[in-house]
């Protein structure tokens, strides 16, 4: 019998595969794997025309129409990536790599100042858009969410907006009347004995804290210098008030997320909640429908606005398409679509006309009366002289966060 080479024999006994053969296979395998890897890398990073790459839009989901009717003909594809509402991660992301990854962004308004100061967004002359003059004056002028405070430059296009207040369950709070009763016009309802143990506020400070500030300041219960921009003293005042309320058992839970908000009210776990208006719409469409009403607070709404901003990448590589996208958000289909699926106000009256002319267009049907009523109602919030925008990026943001974390912990 032929003797195997010693080294080969030592490894291959009982296996039928020699070490040399094994090493050969490993070598061939490694070469093949490396070849496939290089090929795949080259394929994934293959050069492509700038125009072929989809526009990268990073924004809060509220502004996502989920369809792109009428845009793709001239604007190409758009990839919408959901962004957080929380301002700090947005500023970080944009500072880190967002400015080079996205063409346009649409985040909580009033972030424009720090974003612009960081170089994360640019002045792209939005006033030159064809529909700019159609934007409601309430949104186009004196709008802190699109205007850089220090220079007065316009750097954003307002696309979606509303004024937030409180959702109330009428039949439980004022049984037998069918209508909101005493206390239904003030944020004080959240702190009233009527809702003790059945009241809820949002876990995040970004909206909730301004409602408390409005309540305390406008009713002269405490000294709040400016409800839209809270000082450390103001925050301490709010904290003391809220901690006392919490200790007295006023709040059932601090909520977070759309589903939780709807579920808490639908199951009557809470009867009054500072939340978004579409929560009320969702409650009204439950089976059986819930008699929910959105408060018109005498202290004013918490105004918010989601503008579209252009990044340095958008300006240098895809400016025309970004302008086209921005223009598209001011036109009829986008407006009708957003108001229909979210109930929020868009920037121009084109949405109403579009719904009237195209009630069964893609993404519809579109109810002109509903869209008209939403535009009328929400526009009033922006011109009532009482409602305020809250600053999402105040210089003392750490104090804001500490205050609300302590309150909700």
Partner 1 sequence: MASRRPSGPFDQLAEYFADHPRALLSLQIVPPLVFVFFFVFVPLASIFAWSFWTVENNRLVPGFSTSAYEEFLGIGGLPTWRLDIFLKTLRIAVTQTAIALVLGFAIAYFVGIKMRGSKYALPLLLLFAVPFLTSYLLRTLSWYIVLQSRGLINTVLQSIGATNGPLPGLLFSEFSVHVGLLSTYLPFMIFPIWLAMSRIDQTVLAASADLGGRPRDTLFRVVVPLALPGILIGSIFVFVGVLGDSVVPEILGGATDSSRTLIANLIDKAISGQQYPMAAAIASIILLMAIGLIWGWERAFGLKKIGEI
C-alpha count within 13 angstroms, C-beta hemisphere, residue 286: 17
Helix axes of 332-342 and 319-329: crossing angle, nearest 10 degrees: 60
Contacts of residue 50, Cβ cutoff 8 Å, sequence gap at least 6:
317, 318
Question: How many angstroms separate the CA atoms of 369 and 371, rounded?
Answer: 6
* Cβ-based nearer residue to partner 1, 11 or 377: 11
Question: How many angstroms separate the CA atoms of 283 and 264, rounded?
Answer: 10
Shortest CB 258 distance to partner 1, Å: 14
* Cβ-based nearer residue to partner 1, 242 or 330: 242
Three-state secondary structure readout of 109-149: CCCHHHHHHHCCCECCCHHHCCCHHHCCHHHHCCCCCCECC
The answer to whether 209 and 401 are in contact (CB under 8 A) is no
* Cβ-based nearer residue to partner 1, 78 or 273: 273
Write out the residues near partner 1 by the rule CB under 8 A: 6-7, 10-11, 19, 86, 88-89, 91-92, 95, 197, 200, 246, 249, 251-254, 256, 267-269, 398, 401-402, 405-406, 408-409
Q: Kindly report whether the peptide bond that precedes residue 107 is cis, defined as omega within 30 degrees of 0.
A: no
Shortest CB 101 distance to partner 1, Å: 18
* Cβ-based nearer residue to partner 1, 72 or 406: 406
Shortest CB 6 distance to partner 1, Å: 5
Shortest CB 56 distance to partner 1, Å: 22
From the list 323, 290, 369, the residue with the least C-alpha distance to 273 is 290
Shortest CB 408 distance to partner 1, Å: 7
From the list 198, 136, 142, 143, the residue with the least C-alpha distance to 167 is 198
* Cβ-based nearer residue to partner 1, 367 or 402: 402
* Cβ-based nearer residue to partner 1, 251 or 366: 251
Shortest CB 189 distance to partner 1, Å: 16
Shortest CB 256 distance to partner 1, Å: 8
Shortest CB 351 distance to partner 1, Å: 35
Q: How far apart are the first and last CA of the chain?
A: 81
* Cβ-based nearer residue to partner 1, 261 or 330: 261
* Cβ-based nearer residue to partner 1, 136 or 400: 400
Contacts of residue 275, Cβ cutoff 8 Å, sequence gap at least 6:
164, 166, 167, 202, 255, 261, 265
Shortest CB 267 distance to partner 1, Å: 5
* Cβ-based nearer residue to partner 1, 199 or 339: 199
């Amino acid at each position: 019998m032929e003797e195997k080479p010693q080294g080969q024999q030592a490894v291959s006994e009982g296996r039928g595969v020699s070490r040399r053969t094994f090493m050969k296979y490993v070598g061939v395998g490694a070469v093949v794997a490396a070849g496939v890897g290089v090929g795949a890398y080259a394929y994934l990073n293959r050069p492509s025309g700038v125009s072929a790459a989809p526009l990268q839009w990073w924004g809060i989901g509220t502004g996502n129409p989920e369809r792109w009717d009428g845009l793709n003909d001239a604007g190409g594809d758009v990839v919408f990536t959901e962004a957080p509402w929380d301002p700090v991660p947005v500023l970080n992301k944009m500072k880190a790599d967002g400015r080079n990854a996205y063409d346009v962004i649409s985040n909580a308004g009033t972030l424009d100042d720090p974003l612009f100061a960081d170089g994360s967004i640019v002045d792209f002359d939005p006033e030159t858009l064809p529909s700019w003059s159609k934007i409601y004056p309430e949104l186009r002028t004196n709008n802190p969410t699109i205007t850089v405070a220090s220079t007065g430059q316009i750097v954003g296009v307002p696309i979606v907006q509303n004024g937030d207040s409180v959702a109330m369950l009428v039949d439980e709070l004022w049984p037998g009347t069918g209508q909101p009763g005493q206390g239904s016009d003030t944020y004080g309802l959240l702190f009233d004995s009527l809702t003790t143990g059945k009241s809820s506020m949002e876990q995040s400070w970004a909206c909730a804290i301004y409602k408390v500030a409005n309540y305390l300041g406008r009713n002269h219960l405490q000294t709040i210098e400016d409800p839209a921009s809270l000082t450390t003293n103001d925050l301490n005042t709010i904290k003391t008030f809220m901690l006392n309320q919490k200790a007295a058992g006023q709040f059932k839970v601090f909520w977070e997320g759309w589903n939780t908000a709807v579920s808490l009210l639908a199951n009557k776990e809470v009867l009054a909640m500072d939340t978004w208006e579409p929560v009320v719409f969702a409650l009204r469409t439950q089976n059986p429908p819930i008699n929910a009403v959105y408060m018109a607070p005498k202290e004013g709404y918490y105004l918010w606005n989601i503008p579209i901003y252009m990044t340095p990448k958008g300006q240098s590589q895809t400016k025309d398409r970004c302008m086209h996208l921005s223009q598209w958000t001011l036109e009829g289909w986008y407006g009708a679509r957003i108001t229909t699926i979210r109930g929020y106000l868009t920037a121009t009256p084109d949405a109403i006309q579009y719904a009237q002319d195209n009630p069964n267009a893609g993404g519809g049907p579109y109810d002109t009366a509903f869209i008209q009523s939403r535009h009328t109602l929400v526009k009033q919030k922006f011109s009532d002289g009482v409602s305020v925008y809250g600053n999402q990026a105040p210089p003392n943001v750490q104090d804001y966060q500490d205050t609300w974390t302590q309150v909700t912990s």
